[in-house]
């Protein structure tokens, strides 16, 4: 945790660039109708546009990577000051049912679709994990467990990320068109959008409350990384010699810190001014993280990705979106 808080001089150039892009995105967002496009989406798009320039300078790389990973996690932890365990329990009762169906769709349907498309089980598993659990984090956690090569990882990341970019823009529009409540939309976003950063962007683009609910659901969904990784390590062990699996290496530590912050907020009455400052800083940090993700993403490389993994990722992601919504209709939680 202390290492996360250290800002080394080599990080500063990229960090400052992300800060500037986030500041510009926030300013532009204030000039636009709030329902049109959020600062998080603007930051992502601005980052993508500036990537060709940013990649020319190696001095920016470490700061951009730091912002896209560490700053986002710290931002989510900071959001815990506005939440209470009563919120976690209220959302959790319904999110577990939805998540069971979406995970079954991602891994069951994804396995069958992968075979139909002629993809290797490793390639299919990475895309399914990115879609069903938490995008790039799940892919990064599962890849070494099943000994996937770099090409498979790149295709999986591209397949899930492209769909996420579309969902960040389309989800708020669809949510309003369908007349969804903050709770229903947060549950839908938290269970159907892939990467944590995209859940944050899509959730808060709808409303502050929806964004908070989406984060709670998303963090609960992220916990499934551990059993899924264990399961696939056993599958891979059938054909490859494997060493012991390190739970510490794949468990998302920031979830524990987030829960600790929520516990503090639940047990003690924190000053409103303090909550406002921390939540505002967390919100801006999220915008910075989205800017960093855009700055580190090469659109041209993604465009050259293989067709089959992209088709696989799109169809499974779309299926998860539809299943999540259908289950909520059945539960009457829209």
Contacts of 109 (CB under 8 A, 6+ apart): 316, 319
What are the Cα distances from residue 37, in Å, to 21, 42, 130, 254, 318? Answer: 16, 7, 25, 28, 22
Annotate 63-118 with DSSP letters as a single string.
Answer: HHHHIIIIIHHHHHHHHGGG--HHHHHHHHHHHHHHHHHHHHIIIIIHHHHHHHHT
Q: What is the sign, positive or negative, of the torsion defined by CA atoms of 202, 208, 2, 63?
A: positive
Contacts of 11 (CB under 8 A, 6+ apart): 62, 63, 66
Q: What mean pLDDT comes out for the span 216-235? A: 76
**How many distinct structural domains can be found in the chain?**
1
What are the Cα distances from residue 283, in Å, to 73, 197, 208, 277? Answer: 12, 12, 10, 10
Output the pLDDT for position 1: 43
Mean pLDDT, all residues of the chain = 79
Q: What mean pLDDT comes out for the span 145-170? A: 77
Work out the percent of the chain whose per-residue pLDDT is above 70: 81
Segment 14-58, tens digit of pLDDT = 999 999 999 999 898 888 754 456 677 788 789 888 998 888 888
Task: Give the span between the Cα atoms of 293 and 291, in whole angstroms.
Answer: 5
Q: Which run of H or E residues covers position 153?
A: helix 150-177
Residue 244 has pLDDT above 60, yes or no: no
Of 124 and 194, the structure prediction assigns the larger pLDDT to 124
Contact 121, 153 (CB under 8 A): no
Residue 226 has pLDDT above 80, yes or no: no
* Confidence category of residue 319, pLDDT binned at 50, 70, 90: very high
Q: How many CB atoms lie within 10 A of CB 220?
A: 18
Task: Give the span between the Cα atoms of 305 and 138, in whole angstroms.
Answer: 20
Contacts of 60 (CB under 8 A, 6+ apart): 13, 14, 17, 54, 295
Output the pLDDT for position 16: 94
Domain coverage including residue 182: 2-331
Output the pLDDT for position 116: 92
Task: Give the span between the Cα atoms of 332 and 334, in whole angstroms.
Answer: 6
């Amino acid at each position: 945790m202390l290492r996360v808080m250290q800002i080394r001089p080599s990080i500063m150039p990229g960090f400052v660039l992300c800060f500037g892009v986030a500041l510009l995105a926030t300013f532009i967002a204030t000039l636009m109708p709030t329902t049109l496009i959020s600062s998080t989406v603007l930051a992502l798009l601005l980052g993508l546009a500036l990537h060709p320039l940013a990649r020319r300078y190696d001095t920016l790389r470490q700061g951009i990577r730091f912002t896209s990973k560490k700053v986002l996690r710290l931002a989510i932890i900071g959001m815990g000051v506005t939440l209470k365990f009563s919120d976690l329990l209220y959302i959790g009762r319904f999110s577990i049912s939805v998540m069971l169906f979406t995970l079954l769709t991602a891994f069951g349907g994804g396995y069958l679709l992968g075979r139909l498309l002629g993809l290797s089980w490793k390639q299919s598993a990475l895309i399914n994990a990115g879609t069903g659990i938490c995008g790039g984090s799940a892919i990064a956690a599962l890849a070494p467990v099943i000994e996937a090569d770099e090409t498979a990882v790149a295709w999986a990341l591209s397949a899930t990320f492209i769909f996420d970019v579309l969902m960040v823009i389309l989800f708020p529009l669809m949510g309003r068109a369908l007349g969804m409540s903050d709770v229903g939309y947060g549950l839908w976003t938290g269970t159907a959008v892939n990467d944590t950063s995209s859940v944050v962007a899509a959730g808060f683009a709808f409303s502050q409350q929806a964004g908070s609910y989406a984060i709670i659901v998303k963090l609960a969904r992220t916990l499934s990384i551990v059993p899924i990784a264990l399961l696939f390590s056993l599958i891979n062990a059938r054909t490859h010699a494997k060493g012991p699996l390190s739970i510490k290496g794949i468990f998302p530590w920031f979830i524990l810190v987030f829960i600790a912050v929520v516990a503090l907020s639940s047990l003690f009455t924190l000053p409103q001014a303090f909550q406002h400052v921390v939540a505002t800083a967390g919100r801006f940090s999220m915008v910075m993280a989205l800017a960093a993700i855009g700055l580190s993403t090469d659109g041209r490389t993604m465009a050259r990705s293989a067709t089959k993994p992209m088709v696989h990722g799109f169809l499974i992601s779309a299926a998860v979106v539809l299943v999540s919504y259908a289950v909520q209709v059945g539960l009457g939680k829209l």
